[in-house]
Amino acid sequence: MSGPSPYPEEVAALSKVPIDRLALKTIEGLAKETNPEERALRLCNLFRGLDNESGACLLSVAARLYIQGDPAGRRVFSSTLNVKPPGIEVLEQLQVFSSIQRVSSKLIQGNWEEPSDSQNENPVFAILDVLSEGTRLGVLDIGIDTLPNQVGALNAVYQHLRGWFSVASYKLSTHQDIPDEQLHFIMQLCMLEINLMERRVSGIAEAINPYDTRALARLMPVLSRYDQDIEHMKSVVSRLGTYDPFNERLLSLEHTITSGEMKKLLKVMNGIPGGTLLKRVFENAQVNPILDREFQFWVSLIYQLGRLRYLIDDGAPEIDPITATELASQFVEESRPLVISMNDTFFHSVWPVIESWGVASWAENGIEVSFRNEKAHQFVESDGTPRFPEEPEVAEQQEISLDQMLRSQIHNDAFLLGVLENPKVLANGKVINYLAVHCRSLRVLERIATTPSLFSGAANKDVPRLLLRNPSKLSVNMLRRFMHVRFVSKTDLIKMAQPRSDVRSEVRQEINSYLRSLS
């Protein structure tokens, strides 16, 4: 966060691009759609009928409006960088089977309530159909006419199912053939999970207390994600047999027009005043596509840091949305932290604000920022666009959260060991993941690694993978049990086995040995 603005001439030129009336009217029409996925779909459908000159004109006008703070320009330009999740990510989202498992647990405990407007049959029949099909195919070795009446037995069934599903997902993602019956079973299982997810959302809506504004604020980002994800999940699952969803980590525009047409569009754009900057943004996004919510998080964060510098540092250049977008597309890698350098004076001036955001920590000569989905709503609007506050400020901290307490007590072994015995705290679902990443106490990590309830189940599905990545000297013998596709997907194991991975060398060697045993 130092030095002059990197693209002053291009930004100035884009700010003066002539406003084509037809392009403006089109942008305003597209911007009326508040759902980001639907808006991106409409934009793509529009581009199917546009020639390259008209497409470049529309993008340049949207960029000008974006720079000038126009909400319509912000919505439309953000949608041009929409990236669809690949099939494997959708399967990884679904393979937790959190909805199937939760509904099953509620059914055997007798406290499942079907949403009042639902016309569906009791979900127990659909669940039993899936489990029976799994038994017939040999995926499960149980023959049941009713759900197990013990939660532990039920969890064991789904744990086994997750392990099989993980292997099958890997085969699909690498275009390996699997029997048609198994593929049909995967689709049946996924659609059941999605259906029960929808029923749970309906149940949540029925239970909302309209007077509890704090709870509503917490619930809003969750419901927004469900709203955006469910239809996309259905689309991906319905097309698994074609294997197309596993090749879709592309800009949505690249699904609409051919790669050759995309090159022609960028060439035309390059001839527009300031168009070289837009061309660079799209080329970066093609090489390094980042899923929408995470990408817009980074655009907002970079903008807010630039805005803080402008307000605090006399003579600092003013940042604009296009520059923030280009910097995000150039320097951010998906799911990896970003180290941002800043001088001591600026750091000490802005750290109280940045710390309150809950996404940054100190780093040498600056800060290290990580994308956190649960914090994304502070940076991404409900319409899927980045937030651009005039004066970035401290996030409201009316109450201390469990996350804050854990961060402050991360070196307190006695406290952390007590937390591991507290079922109310563990019910949070994120505590063990947090400790597996940030804790360096061997006492605490050994307790997690040797207590099945702490590394198994839907809420703790990532714990084995995170323990393998933890840099503390936890014994390899203790970690060896997690080097198995039952706990960690083969895809993740392969990544961890790479020479440049951040996994300890002795752990990496053991993972390589296990992977060789599979071949």
> Which 3 state secondary structure label does DSSP give 368?
strand
**Tell me: the pLDDT tens digits for 144-164?**
666 777 778 888 888 888 888
Q: How sure is the predictor about 130, in pLDDT bands with cuts at 50, 70 and 90?
A: confident
Residue 207: band (very low, low, confident or very high) from pLDDT cuts 50, 70, 90: low
Mean pLDDT of 241-251: 73
pLDDT for position 222: 58
pTM over 0.75: no
Average model confidence (pLDDT) across the chain: 85
Pairwise CA distance, residues 185 & 68, whole Å:
51
pLDDT value, residue 60: 96
Distance CA 215, CA 488 (A): 34
The C-alpha atoms of residue 203 and residue 112 are separated, in whole angstroms, by: 10
Is the per-residue pLDDT at 398 higher than 50? Answer: no
Separation between Cα atoms, residue 439 and residue 417, nearest integer Å: 11
Amino acid of residue 35: N
Q: Running DSSP on this structure, what letter comes out for residue 380?
A: B
Q: Specify whether the CB–CB gap between 243 and 28 falls below 8 A.
A: no
Adjacent-strand bridge partners of 83:
251
| Identity of residue 105 | S
**Tokens 């259906």, residue?**
195
| DSSP designation for 485 | T
How high is the pLDDT of residue 119?
A: 59
- Mean pLDDT along residues 243-270: 80
What is residue 224's predicted lDDT score, i.e. its pLDDT? 53
Could you tell me the residue ranges of all domains in the chain? 8-85+262-386, 89-113+121-247, 402-518
Q: How far apart are CA 255 and CA 265, in angstroms?
A: 14
Q: Which of 266, 352, 267 is nearest to 308 (CA)?
A: 352
pLDDT of residue 31: 96
Helix axes 98-109, 180-207, angle to 10 degrees: 60
Q: How far apart are CA 107 and CA 18, in angstroms?
A: 62
pLDDT digits (tens, 9 = 90+) for 22-46: 999 999 999 999 888 789 889 988 9
DSSP state of 120: P
More confident residue, 432 or 423: 432
pLDDT (0 to 100) of residue 328: 96
Residue 116: pLDDT over 60: no
- What is the distance in angstroms between the CA of the first residue and the CA of the last residue of the chain? 48
Structure tokens that stand for 264 in this block: 């022609």
Q: Read out DSSP for 390-457?
A: SS--PPP-SS--HHHHHHHTTT-HHHHHHHTT-HHHHTTSSHHHHHHHH---HHHHHHHHH-HHHH-S
The pLDDT assigned to 71 comes to 96
Cβ proximity of 337 and 307 under 8 Å: no
- The 3-class SS string of 359-372 reads CEEEECCEEEECCC
- Give 426's Cβ-side CA count (13 Å radius): 18
Per-residue pLDDT at 122 exceeds 70: yes
Of residues 467 and 374, the one with the higher pLDDT is 467
Categorise residue 488: left if φ over 0, alpha if ψ from -120 to 50, beta otherwise.
beta
pLDDT in tens, 477-500: 999 999 999 999 999 999 999 988
Handedness of CA 70, 358, 90, 113 (dihedral sign): negative
Is 416 within 8 Å of 435 (Cβ atoms)? Answer: yes
